[in-house]
Amino acid sequence: MIAGAAEESGIVGRRLDVLDQLLIALFLAGLYLGVSLQITSKIPLTCAPSGAAGLILLWRRRNDIEPRHLAGLLGVLALYLGSIVIASDLSFLSKRFTGFLQLAYGFVISYGLFLTVIHGERRQIARILLAFCLFIIVGCVLESHTSLRAISDAVRDKIYDSSVVYDADLRDQMLYGRIRPKLFTSEPSAVTFAYTHYCSAWLVISTWRWKLPVYLGLIGLALVVLPGPTLVLMLLLTIPYMIFLSGGHRRRSPTRLIGALALSVVLLGLTVAVGQSLFAARLAELGRGEDASFFYRFTGPMLVAFDVFRHYPWAGAGLTGEMFIADNVMNVYMNSPSFQAAWRISRIGDVLTNYFWLHWIYLGVVGGVLMFVAISVWLRMLGVPSVLYCWAVWLILGQASGSYVGPKTWAVLLFAAAASILTTRTVQQPTAASARWRPAYPRFAT
């Protein structure tokens, strides 16, 4: 039975038990909700359900932790720890160390998820992801047309701090003609981000022959039910999949690569067309310099990163170093023609919401490159067939999410790593003499 499944799906795996599947679902739910628990007055436990699920998954997979995996992870964390020490102005060391603890927590629980996913069957993981996406669609439909919105709003008021609860419904009605669903999350972008992330992961992991047309259908469905510019990233996320992973054993052939590149160009053009046609009002607002959300998610963080390159090229502002560069951020924003003085800034961290650019803001040019190399080496040690695919997914989704030290950022990277391993794993026959099942990592020529 195992051999037949391997031949059909292209992997060797064992079925995850019910508890593992429930824990994966809880981890994904935690990323979706983003609920935090305050451990101390200064240290929050972000994505608390994911933290609980990730630690349990790590404990259940403790026998599958390889020494080189652990050594690589500790090496990465050691470099991050060093980065907060060499960053300028040690009076901010306590704050940076809190950020380091949050980052270490995100890496550890995401590694627990990674170990579990690579031990499962592709169909199992794909079903969990698809079920989550369909749940979001159905929930958003019900919220828009039933009394579920009142229940959702009541829950949101209870579980989120009032400072993070979305209150721009009037703007949504002007831009989209209706109030966008939030479905128990703090804001609509949390819904679209989770949907984009889980759908794109489903595309990679699913074994369906016609999964790409289904995926395009899921994009169209989402654009109707839960509109938002983040959904355009779903089309962009197909490009790294086509280039780096699709095609099985033929993925390295020149013919397949040319075909993948051609299809990627078509998808890129489709992305631009969809964005221009469906979000014309949002683009017009952006053109007039009135879209604060876009400025805080992309333009602003990019400009701040360039400013950090000039002033702190070696070690940046340090992890969670927003207060250290608060004056620099305000100077950059006030001197930008895309910024309006009428926009209110209550907290510097709220106007730097792009974890890709935060990587460079926190670490600088030298530190940022060093960490990219270190994490890439660790990914190779984990058996990832395409590090470029993982970073491409991480970069694209970073345009819709902040919180560099949070679990969501590193779950994106390690879930992409696990998905790439599941998709490209070679077929091997398990032997009766095997003491315990081991994942069949692909071999690479040196």
**How many structural domains comprise the chain?**
1
Q: What is the rounded distance in angstroms from the CA atom of residue 16 to the CA atom of residue 7?
A: 18
Determine, yes or no, domain membership for 338: yes
Q: What is the mean pLDDT of residues 103-115?
A: 98
Average per-residue pLDDT for the chain:
87
Q: Is the dihedral of CA 81, 82, 84, 90 positive or negative?
A: positive
Q: What is the DSSP letter of 443?
A: P
**Following CA atoms 22, 27, 32, 34 in sequence, which dihedral angle do they give, to the nearest 10 degrees?**
130
pTM of structure: 0.89
Q: What is the mean pLDDT of residues 325-354?
A: 91
Task: Name the least confident of 69-73, 169-173, 183-187, 315-319.
Answer: 169-173
Which of the pair, 424 or 96, is modelled with greater confidence?
96
pLDDT at 425: 75
**Following CA atoms 416, 422, 426, 428 in sequence, which dihedral angle do they give, to the nearest 10 degrees?**
150
Determine, yes or no, domain membership for 130: yes
Beta bridge partners of 44: 38
Residue 1 predicted with pLDDT over 50: no
Report pLDDT digits (tens) over 27-64.
999 999 999 988 887 888 899 999 999 999 999 999 99
Report pLDDT digits (tens) over 216-236.
999 999 999 999 889 999 999
Q: What is the rounded distance in angstroms from the CA atom of residue 197 to the CA atom of residue 397?
A: 7
pLDDT at 441: 42
Residue 193 predicted with pLDDT over 90: yes
Determine, yes or no, domain membership for 370: yes
Determine, yes or no, domain membership for 199: yes
pLDDT at 65: 95
pLDDT at 108: 98
Confidence of residue 436 (pLDDT cuts 50, 70, 90): very low
Q: What is the mean pLDDT of residues 313-327?
A: 95
Residues whose CB is less than 8 angstroms from the CB of residue 155 and which lie 6 or more positions away in sequence, other chains included: 184
Cβ-contact 444, 385 below 8 angstroms: yes
Q: What is the mean pLDDT of residues 237-264?
A: 73
Q: What is the rounded distance in angstroms from the CA atom of residue 389 to the CA atom of residue 343?
A: 37
Token pair 């038990």 is at which residue? 17
Determine, yes or no, domain membership for 444: no
Report pLDDT digits (tens) over 259-301.
666 776 777 777 667 666 666 666 666 666 678 888 999 999 9
Q: What is the mean pLDDT of residues 169-186?
A: 86
pLDDT at 429: 36
Determine, yes or no, domain membership for 433: no
Determine, yes or no, domain membership for 445: no
pLDDT at 42: 80
Residue 178 predicted with pLDDT over 80: yes
pLDDT at 345: 87
Per the structure, the complete domain to which residue 54 belongs is given by 2-424
Q: What is the rounded distance in angstroms from the CA atom of residue 386 to the CA atom of residue 245?
A: 8
